[in-house]
């Protein structure tokens, strides 16, 4: 069953705001510029499924996550939760959405209120949604995320905890109200390597224990390969390839996906593998190029062909269920 669906989702940000900017544009007869952070993506997430979103910095991954958790309002497009469109929800239905859709943020040093104890941090969402068994839930959740015994941690402030412990508190806060969908935005990128394995193991356990549906955002495809059922590759606000994690990693089709996979270190020094190095950086998200947005960096660029905008389509003739946005397979 589909729990979440995004259709033609867009989120654009004005580069300049305020009265002076508006007056200047009016005098010059110009329109304001917009950053096309997310620009027309569509996908579905099933119950109990984990979808990874990968790509370079600035490709729209985190903005997508913020839209899915209703922390950003989309510029265009629709997001459906269990068949109900976000913008149509109000009152008790909107409260239910906010309870069931939670986010684990990237930086545990900024996502926790420094003046609130661990107990207060976990009690706040329980109080907002009128749970009666606050103390029981808090103690159980602290035990589940590995902060044992809970008595040693409930009165601690974030500044008294290590980075790994802070992220465990952030995970406990997201789970304490029993959501059924979470967005995990680079949850281990700010942690030392020695702490990452424990948090990733915890993330795996919680999806199995609670039957959660998860959108996992990361630039690390090797991590997503082990954590996710499917992976979507984003570039300049668009999905350029989406499919099963196994196929994305073992048989990538889009040149950008191939380059990302090729950049993953191989632990075997004797394994010979040619490198695909992409020239330049992610393009201008304000003044978008015509045609394929990856064409200026693509090693397979075909003049005249790649100047037309490709569609994200299933290429069944390739023996793959992946959807690919590339003219190479037309």
pLDDT digits (tens, 9 = 90+) for 98-147: 999 999 998 888 889 999 999 999 999 999 999 989 999 999 999 988 89
pLDDT of residue 18: 65
* CATH class of the structural domain 2-329: alpha beta
Average pLDDT over residues 196-217: 86
Long-range contacts (CB closer than 8 Å, 24 or more residues apart) made by 289-297: 292/325, 292/326, 292/327, 293/235, 293/236, 293/237, 293/238, 294/235, 294/236, 294/240, 294/254, 294/255, 294/256, 297/256
Summarize the confidence of residues 213-236 as an average pLDDT.
93
Domain regions of the chain by residue span: 2-329
pLDDT at 231 over 80: yes
Beta-bridged to residue 183, according to DSSP, are: 103, 215
Instruction: Report how far residue 154's alpha carbon sits from residue 147's, in angstroms, rounded to the nearest whole number.
Output: 9
Going by C-alpha positions, the residue among 213, 185, 231 that lies closest to residue 82 is 213
280-327 per-position pLDDT tens digit: 788 889 889 999 999 999 989 999 999 999 999 987 666 677 899 999
Return the axis-axis angle of helices 118-128 and 134-144, rounded to nearest 10°: 130
CB 282 within 8 A of CB 235: yes
Q: Are 324 and 233 in contact (CB under 8 A)?
A: no
DSSP state of 118: H
Residue 38 has pLDDT above 80, yes or no: yes
- The pairing of strands 323-325 and 312-314 is antiparallel
- CB-CB contact of 198 with 164 (8 Å): yes
Look at residues 162, 161, 165, 155 and name the one whose alpha carbon lies nearest to residue 123: 155
Instruction: State residue 244's pLDDT score.
Output: 93
What is the 3-state composition of the chain as percent helix, strand, coil, each rounded to the nearest 5?
35, 20, 45
User: Is it the case that residue 257 has pLDDT exceeding 80?
Assistant: yes
């Amino acid at each position: 069953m589909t729990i979440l669906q995004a259709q033609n989702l867009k989120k654009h940000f004005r580069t300049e705001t305020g009265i002076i900017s508006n007056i200047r544009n009016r005098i010059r007869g110009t329109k304001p510029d917009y950053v096309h952070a997310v620009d027309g993506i569509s996908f579905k997430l099933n119950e109990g499924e984990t979808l990874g979103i990968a790509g370079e910095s600035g490709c729209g991954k985190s903005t997508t996550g913020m839209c899915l958790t209703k922390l950003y309002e989309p510029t265009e497009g629709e997001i459906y939760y269990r068949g109900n469109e976000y913008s149509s929800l109000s009152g008790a239905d909107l409260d239910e959405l906010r309870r069931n859709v939670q986010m684990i943020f990237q930086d545990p040093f900024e996502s926790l209120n420094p003046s609130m104890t661990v107990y207060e941090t976990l009690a706040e969402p329980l109080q907002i949604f009128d749970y009666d068994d606050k103390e029981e839930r808090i103690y159980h959740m602290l035990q589940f995320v590995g902060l044992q015994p809970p008595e040693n941690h409930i009165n601690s402030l974030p500044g008294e905890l290590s980075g790994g412990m802070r992220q465990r508190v952030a995970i406990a806060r997201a789970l304490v109200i029993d959501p059924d969908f979470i967005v995990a935005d680079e949850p281990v990128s700010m942690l030392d390597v020695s702490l990452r394995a424990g948090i990733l193991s915890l993330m795996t356990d919680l999806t199995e224990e609670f039957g959660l549906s998860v959108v996992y955002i990361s630039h690390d495809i090797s991590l997503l390969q082990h954590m996710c059922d499917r992976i979507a590759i984003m570039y300049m606000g668009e999905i350029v390839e989406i499919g099963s994690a196994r196929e994305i990693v073992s048989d990538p089709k889009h040149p950008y996906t191939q380059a990302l996979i090729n950049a993953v270190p191989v632990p075997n020094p004797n394994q010979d593998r040619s490198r695909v190095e992409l020239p330049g950086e992610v393009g201008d998200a304000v003044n978008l190029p015509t045609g394929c947005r990856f064409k200026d960096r693509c090693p397979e660029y075909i003049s005249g062909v790649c100047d037309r905008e490709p569609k994200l389509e299933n290429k069944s003739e390739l023996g793959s269920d992946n959807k690919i946005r590339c003219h190479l397979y037309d």
